[in-house]
Amino acid sequence: MSLFKHLDVAGKPQIDWEMTPEYTFGTFESWGGKERLRNNNERFYYFFVDGWSKTPKLCLMERAVKYARVLAEIKAPEEMVRRCVQEQGRVSHYDRTFAVNQELKDWLVKNVIEADDDSLVVPLKEEEAPEIVASGLPLRTSAAIPEPVTQVWLPQGLRELNKADVDEAVTRYNFPDQERNPGGAFPHVFVDNGDDLTISDRATGLMWQRTGLDIMSCRLMRLAVDELNRKGFAGFHDWRLPSLEEAMSLMENEKLANGQYLHRCFSAGAPFVFANAPRKRGGHWFVDYKQGRIFWASATIPGGFGRLCRTDEEIRRQLEIGRASCRERV
């Protein structure tokens, strides 16, 4: 098939016309749906419509257990793609990823599958894992660290949230969100822990991974967190998914040189991350550092990245002592 030759996909891959974004959960995530798989390395290829951007796009997905990659964008007629989205309406709004309808399937067979012209197929290069650069932060042992402007103990732990809860959190802490509060600002005082793995924030008393965990479903993410704690990442065994407020505390109010609303001390390889916050009535809340906003989507298709945090007890104790000293002086 010239499509796969153009994309440099080896073997004899075939388009699975029965596979849809919704069906991927039963095939790749749920324990009851894997009888269709011969092995965990088997790859499936299917078309879908990505409805996350203002203009929906027709794409080709390569999928396997613990693996998902968009191989190409297909330059289908824009109105045809929009009709596909409109037909499915609220049914697929949960994920903003849509199965192709019969009209798109017929167009794909005629213009892409059976055609020798590859001009409609735009390969998407797999991004290389970004390297961690010097943080540019003072070491936590430095005497030059400024005291935080504000010291905030943010909510933590698993909490189910609705839209009103999210809006209230953004307002309460003045988090910058390009849709809800573009003029917001949450001050932080980052320090480098000197291990090339973590930084801490003296404003919140939290320690953070500088990198993160790769994209996966929420169920697999929780298993990955357990495994990371079992191994003792950076010498600690109490890492967790951040609450929505904790994840938002990292958000900058302007896009920086790394292309994200995120300090350069963090890797850009986790552009949108799970908050430990299921959405009431279904779905999950994510914090998107690339777009500078909070959004909700499915916890399974395609899931999200992880950037874990833990309470930095030493910094918390220092801040508590400082608070007590201030109260005594008053």
Task: Give the pLDDT score at 171.
Answer: 97
C-beta separation of 307 from 270 below 8 A: yes
Q: Are 295 and 286 in contact (CB under 8 A)?
A: yes
Question: Do residues 322 and 147 touch, judged by C-beta distance below 8 A?
Answer: yes
User: How many angstroms separate the CA atoms of 85 and 21, rounded?
Assistant: 13
Sequential pLDDT tens for the chain (330 residues)? 578 888 888 888 899 998 887 776 555 544 344 445 566 667 889 999 988 777 999 999 988 766 778 899 999 999 999 999 998 875 434 457 889 999 999 999 999 998 877 899 999 876 554 556 788 899 988 766 666 657 889 999 999 999 999 999 999 999 999 999 999 999 889 999 999 999 999 999 999 999 999 888 888 899 999 999 999 999 999 999 999 999 999 999 999 878 899 999 999 888 999 999 999 988 899 999 998 999 998 766 567 899 999 999 998 887 776 555 554 444
Q: What is the pLDDT of residue 168?
A: 97
Residue 102, CA atoms < 13 Å, CB-side half-sphere: 0
Whether the model pTM is above 0.75: no
Predicted confidence at residue 92, as pLDDT, reads 39
pLDDT of residue 65: 66
C-alpha dihedral sign at 182, 185, 191, 193? negative
Residues 57-109 pLDDT 10s: 999 998 876 677 889 999 999 999 999 999 887 543 445 788 999 999 999 99
Enumerate the β-bridge partners of residue 139.
192
Question: What b/e sequence results for 118-139 when a residue is b if at least 16 CB atoms lie within 10 Å of its CB, and e otherwise?
Answer: eebbeeeeeeeeeeeeebebee
Contact yes or no for 46/15 (Cβ under 8 A): yes
Q: What is the structure's pLDDT at 93?
A: 40
CA-CA distance, 273 to 299, in Å (whole number)?
A: 11
**Alpha-carbon distance 17 to 137, whole Å?**
51
How would you label 144-163 residue by residue, b for 16+ Cβ within 10 Å and e otherwise?
Answer: eeeebeebbebebeebebee
Nearest by Cα to 270 from 262, 280, 279 = 262
d(CA 72, CA 121): 6
Strand partners of residue 284: 278, 297
Q: Give all strands of the β-sheet with 67-74 in edge-to-edge order.
A: 97-99, 44-50, 57-64, 67-74, 121-123
Cα separations in angstroms, 257 against 74, 254, 261, 291, 306: 30, 10, 9, 14, 22
Sign of CA dihedral 169, 157, 286, 296: negative
List the helix and strand counts (H, then E) for the chain. Answer: 8, 14
pLDDT at 91: 46
Q: Are 256 and 139 in contact (CB under 8 A)?
A: no
